[in-house]
Amino acid sequence: MGERLDKFLASQGLGTRKEVGKLIRSGVVTVDGVSQRDPGAKVDLGRQQVAVEGRSVSYQEHLYIMMNKPAGVLSATEDRHAETVLDLLPEELRRRGLFPAGRLDKDTTGLMLITDDGDLAHRMLSPKKHVYKLYLAELDAPVTAEDVEAFQAGIHWAGESYAPGRLWTEEDPFRGYVEIREGRFHQVKRMFEARGKTVQQLKRLKIGGLALDDTLEEGECRLLTPEEVESIFG
């Protein structure tokens, strides 16, 4: 059967389906050394060699996608009643087995990693790996020195205990930066609630060493480079 040439090249980060279609029609794409100008041509990725301008394009076993998640979208693979992060993926990046690695609350925005690599997701989410997540919380009251100390000591609230985290502000005391390694349900909101504050907006900025690409608009996504994937644990 094989896969369409334009879909394969787009899935490997060479552009949108429209862009790679134009690239293919220009004659710079070869399959087994022979120029292929048909974007819909089928290629056997296990047997045939695809190249663009003489450079080999190897099939990547796993996809790693960064998304700037918008509010109102679920961190799920599917839902009958609400839009999910997978629904936002462009056609060229959709393939079987993709899932959001970790979750963000429906109204939380920012960095979301979507992949089909279960081992990486397990490593990233395991508390033993100490992969910290950085959030920006917009609050209804200013952050105090007592809040900073409480976060550093660990929060106990409504029968739950949350591991110590870092809290700081920069220019605006109503905007708190929170770094935690857990990712429990409503965790950041509940930690602030324990301090008598309400989170009005929450955005994830980093996972480990991987920072949200600030050129991505909400709902947009792109493939990660191998170096960016490694930076999660760096």
DSSP letter string, 136-176: EEEESS---HHHHHHHHH-EEETTEEE---EEEESS-TTEE
The answer for residues whose C-beta is within 8 angstroms of residue 145's C-beta and 6 or more apart is none
The answer for residues whose C-beta is within 8 angstroms of residue 222's C-beta and 6 or more apart is 13, 65, 66, 213, 216
| Options 6, 38, 79, 105, the catalytic residue | 105
Do 146 and 155 touch, CB atoms closer than 8 A?
Answer: no
Q: How far apart are CA 85 and CA 70, in angstroms?
A: 9
What number of helices (H) and strands (E) belong to the chain? 6, 17
Bin 185: left if φ > 0, else alpha if -120 < ψ < 50, else beta: beta
Q: Which amino acid is at 146?
A: E
Of 116, 159, 167, nearest in space to 142 by CA: 167
Q: Is 44 a catalytic residue?
A: no
Do 222 and 90 touch, CB atoms closer than 8 A?
Answer: no
Residue 5 has φ and ψ, to the nearest 5°, of -60, -45
Which residues form the catalytic set?
105
